[in-house]
Amino acid sequence: MEGYKRNMIPEPETPLPSIKTGYGLLQWLSSTDHKQLGIMYLWMALFFFLVGGAEAMLMRAQLALPELNLLGPEVYNQLFTMHGTTMVFLVLMPTLIGLGTYFLPLMIGANEMAFPRLNAMSLWITLLGGLLLNFSYLAGGAPDAGWFSYAPLSEKNYSFTPGLDYYSIGLIVTGIGSIGAALNFIVTTITMRVKGMKMNKLPLFVWMVFFNSFLILGAFPLLNAGLFMLLLDRQLQAHFFLPATGGSAVLWQHVFWAFGHPEVYILALPAFGIISEVIPVFSRKKIYGYVTLAASTVFIALLSFGVWAHHMFAVGLGNPVNTFFSAASMLIGIPTGIKVINWTATMWGGRIFFSTSMLFAVAFLIDFTLGGLSGIAFAIAPIDWHITDTYFVVAHIHYVFLGGTLFASFAGIYYWFPKISGKMLSEKLGQWHFWLFLIGFNMTFLIQHLLGLLGMPRRVYTYPDLPYYGSMNFIATMGAVLMMIAMLIFIFNIFHSLRKGMKASSNPWYAWTIEWFASSPPSLKNFDELDEVKTSRPLIDWEKTNQRNDGE
Amino acid sequence: MMVNESAIRYKQSRLMIQLLLASEALFFAALIIAFVYFRNLSMDWSESSKHLQVERTGFFSIFLFASSGTIALWSNALRKGKDKLALIYLAITIVFGAVFLFGQATEYLNLFSEEVTIDKDIFGSAFFTLTGFHAFHVFVGLIILIVTWMLCRIFGYGVGNEQIPPGMLVAEWYWHFVDVVWIFVFFFVYLKPLI
Ligand code: HEM
Ligand SMILES: [Cu+2]
């Protein structure tokens, strides 16, 4: 019995079992190995990126010219809701959590996460939530009240398809997955570091994922509470967010954004971490201001819970409240600005090597800063009143999410792909991907600042032929086409390089954090034995001691 | 090496459950805040809340509070190797928890008989959601404890160890947690309106 059980799915013998042979697929599905799970997170994110991307392309097609009628308002509502929700919860979250799952243990010299089975559960439950959310298309209609589902639009009497029920359940389920991952990250970081790696020698990516996990633990329960209330309203006729019967629609906004604003930082901090790994390596310099980078992270994490009402200036909360949240929001610009300065100073005077990874990191610096600046503009209540719910908001979110988090994720993927797969990604295709994407991105979204200032509202399925509206929207749609082509190149690059790519050495970029000490791809058990860590650049130290030993 | 490993395991489990409960606490905080928000601001905070039975619920609450003590005695007995005694304490804890749930059930039935339900008004929504989630947590806790009891009784789980197994530690922490949450719920739902 015992032996039979063990042989049901034999333990994999290679780090990347082929899914074509015998048990390969089952070995992936039943895996509790953090590397395999990390890889599956990334595939899942890519899959949902295609889903969310298709939704975006449909929207851009509808908006390409004034007064088009390709989709109609009902479908358009579902598309922008599903697009935003998918991109936030099923693309960016799994990408960052996936990179964390893969690299956090490697970077601290551990062989596993603290709770491997919890790790597997987090992945599969996140996927389950995503499938539930998308099942709504088949079950009568997708959610259609925007990714933040403001009540009372999200209530039964306005949105009577089951879409929002799937939204609530789907997000609760994925949220539980994120909480599981966060627990694992924290416990792993605290208890499984290699000898000598004090907290003040943590690689910055680990540091940011670690602190980010506290944000996840703080923010997601709030969302879940709100979602349960919404679900009860819709399913059991409760009254939470229905003003007509004693509830409060504003409470939903409070609950949602008390989660929502930390969430945007949840999507930013690990991205900051990636940038803090990539920039020093490709500048051949130590990171400038490790301590300020680390400390400003803590500052951001704390502040991010105190600024949520900057999403609610238009509600009319009164001057004292508005002023408080306005000031707090601007405060958060300071630690973020400090980081930007740190990264720039790291590049300053360095011998910069512009790999695709580095290009994305630099693009991140510029575009994320732009997104930050428009964010500070929003933090000023009177400005917000002018441009809220216009295309300026759409521009802003995309500069922080796409120009920010997504670019950082690309930087991370180009940087770490050799480690994960043992193959180099083609740099030539990478450059095409980068430039097309960068140009397309700025074409689409830079111009939307202007559209917003001219007063074009967001979330409208079409628009009248006002001066400049048609041409600007057309440019935006063309930019989207460029991004789509860039993504096709990227995906081709992945598959092509997996098959025919150059073999990667264990440390192709001459980096100095511990994940590069493992082979590429790392063996099933990451490390056999590791020396003590003395500084924040262990590989350089170990090389020195080795040379000394060789010399003797 | 083995000793070291189990010590780490223990530490990891404790950390994990502490973090999980801290996260869960925020979930309850949100529900409590919603409850208080509606009580203070909603125009329709109706007559329904008058039907709450403070004394009866207070009486049943004592059982839950006491169960936090008995479960502490349980783990204490385990640590000292008094396994028979430990089983008895655990059984008492389970009974106390069940009595509390029974009390909640009678409270609900009473409210139903007064036609207070989740869809009646905002009080009903806030009250049943908050206390319902708490009761659900107690219920899950009971299942955990019952399973633990059976494992100890039948398979000798945790018997004769110097350190109680991480699973038991987690169960104990969880049980204290539902108790502490109830202190807050009871205060804000039952006591605060009287003050
Ligand atoms: C990681 C990538 C992306 C993220 C995280 C993201 C996120 C979001 C979010 C949060 C919204 C707000 C949805 C709402 O209004 O409720 C949104 C809207 C939108 N996004 Fe994206 N997005 C991404 C990529 C893209 C791309 C590549 C395109 C275009 C090709 C695009 C086009 C749009 C459009 C057209 C809207 C709807 C605006 C409206 O009608 O108000 N997005 N996105
Ligand atoms: Cu915000």
What percent of chain A shows pLDDT beyond 90? Answer: 92
Residue B161 has a pLDDT of 67
How many beta carbons lie within 10 A of that of residue A261, not counting itself?
Answer: 23
Q: For A247-280, what is each residue's pLDDT tens digit?
A: 999 999 999 999 999 999 999 999 999 999 999 9
Residue A3 has a pLDDT of 45
Q: For A484-543, what is each residue's pLDDT tens digit?
A: 999 999 999 999 999 999 999 999 999 999 999 999 999 999 999 899 999 889 999 998
Task: Spell out a b/e string for B47-60, using b for 16 or more CB atoms within 10 Å of the CB, else e.
Answer: ebbeebeeeebeeb
Residue A2 has a pLDDT of 45
Residue B5 has a pLDDT of 80
Q: Is the dihedral of CA A314, A318, A324, A327 positive or negative?
A: positive
For residues A235-243, give the mean pLDDT.
Answer: 95
Residue A368 has a pLDDT of 96
B187, pLDDT greater than 50: yes
Residue A20 pLDDT class (50, 70, 90 cuts): confident
- Report DSSP state, residue B194: G
User: A215 — contact with chain B (CB < 8 Å)?
Assistant: no
Residue B1 pLDDT class (50, 70, 90 cuts): very low
Q: Let me know: does A237 contact A276? Beta carbons within 8 Å.
A: no
Residue A377 pLDDT class (50, 70, 90 cuts): very high
What percent of chain A shows pLDDT beyond 70? Answer: 98
Residue A134 has a pLDDT of 97
Rounded distance between C-alpha atoms, residue A419 and residue A518, angstroms: 8
**In angstroms, what is the C-alpha Rg of chain A?**
24
A208, pLDDT greater than 60: yes
Atom of ligand 1 lying closest to residue A441 CA: 27
* Ligand 1 in reach of A83 Cβ (< 6 A): yes
Given its phi and psi angles, is residue A507 left (phi above 0), alpha (psi -120 to 50 degrees) or beta? beta
How many beta carbons lie within 10 A of that of residue A519, not counting itself?
Answer: 16
Q: What is the pTM of this model?
A: 0.93
B176: exposed, middle or buried (Cβ count in 10 Å: 0-12, 13-18, 19+): middle
Atom of ligand 1 lying closest to residue A63 CA: 35
A460, pLDDT greater than 60: yes
Mean pLDDT estimate for chain A: 94
Task: Spell out a b/e string for A364-396, using b for 16 or more CB atoms within 10 Å of the CB, else e.
Answer: bbebbbbbbebbeebbbbebbeebbebbbbbbb
Helix segments in A241-318, DSSP class H: 249-266, 269-283, 290-303
Inter-chain residue contact B27 with A187, CB threshold 8 Å? no
Residue B152 pLDDT class (50, 70, 90 cuts): confident
Provide the CA A82 distance to its chain's centre, in angstroms: 16
Residue A551 has a pLDDT of 52
Residue B195 pLDDT class (50, 70, 90 cuts): confident
A402, pLDDT greater than 70: yes
Among candidates B27, B42, B119 on the partner chain, residue whose Cβ is nearest the Cβ of A225 = B27
Q: Let me know: does A310 contact A326? Beta carbons within 8 Å.
A: yes
Residue type, A187: V
* Residues of B at the A interface, defined by Cβ within 8 angstroms: 8, 11-12, 15-16, 19-20, 22-24, 26-27, 30-31, 34, 37-38, 41-46, 118-119, 121-122, 124-126, 129, 133
Residue A7 has a pLDDT of 57
- Report DSSP state, residue A139: T
B32, pLDDT greater than 80: yes
Residue A23 has a pLDDT of 84
How many beta carbons lie within 10 A of that of residue B102, not counting itself?
Answer: 12
Residue type, A135: F
Residue B132 pLDDT class (50, 70, 90 cuts): very high
Q: For A276-313, what is each residue's pLDDT tens digit?
A: 999 999 999 999 999 999 999 999 999 999 999 999 99
B67, pLDDT greater than 90: yes
Size of the A and B interface in Cβ pairs below 8 Å? 96
Q: For B90-111, what is each residue's pLDDT tens digit?
A: 999 999 999 999 999 999 999 9
Question: Tokens 């997504």 — which residue?
Answer: A406
Residue A8 pLDDT class (50, 70, 90 cuts): confident
B3, pLDDT greater than 80: no
Q: For B8-21, what is each residue's pLDDT tens digit?
A: 999 999 999 999 99
Inter-chain residue contact B41 with A248, CB threshold 8 Å? yes
User: What ipTM does this complex have?
Assistant: 0.95
Nearest Cα to A146, choosing from A237, A199, A84? Answer: A84
Q: Is the dihedral of CA A436, A438, A441, A443 positive or negative?
A: negative
Q: Which residues pair with A390 in a beta bridge?
A: A457
Residue A245 has a pLDDT of 87
Nearest Cα to A438, choosing from A492, A354, A366? Answer: A366
Crossing angle of helices A34-63/A469-500, nearest 10°?
A: 150
Nearest Cα to B24, choosing from A129, A362, A222, A403? Answer: A222
Atom of ligand 1 lying closest to residue A479 CA: 30
Residue A24 has a pLDDT of 86
Among candidates B16, B38, B129 on the partner chain, residue whose Cβ is nearest the Cβ of A183 = B16
Residue A10 has a pLDDT of 78
Rounded distance between C-alpha atoms, residue A94 and residue A84, angstroms: 15
A1, pLDDT greater than 50: no
Rounded distance between C-alpha atoms, residue A169 and residue A150, angstroms: 16
Q: For A172-207, what is each residue's pLDDT tens digit?
A: 999 999 999 999 999 999 999 999 999 999 999 999
Rounded distance between C-alpha atoms, residue A119 and residue A181, angstroms: 6
Residue B114 has a pLDDT of 92
A360, pLDDT greater than 50: yes
* Ligand 1 in reach of A154 Cβ (< 6 A): no
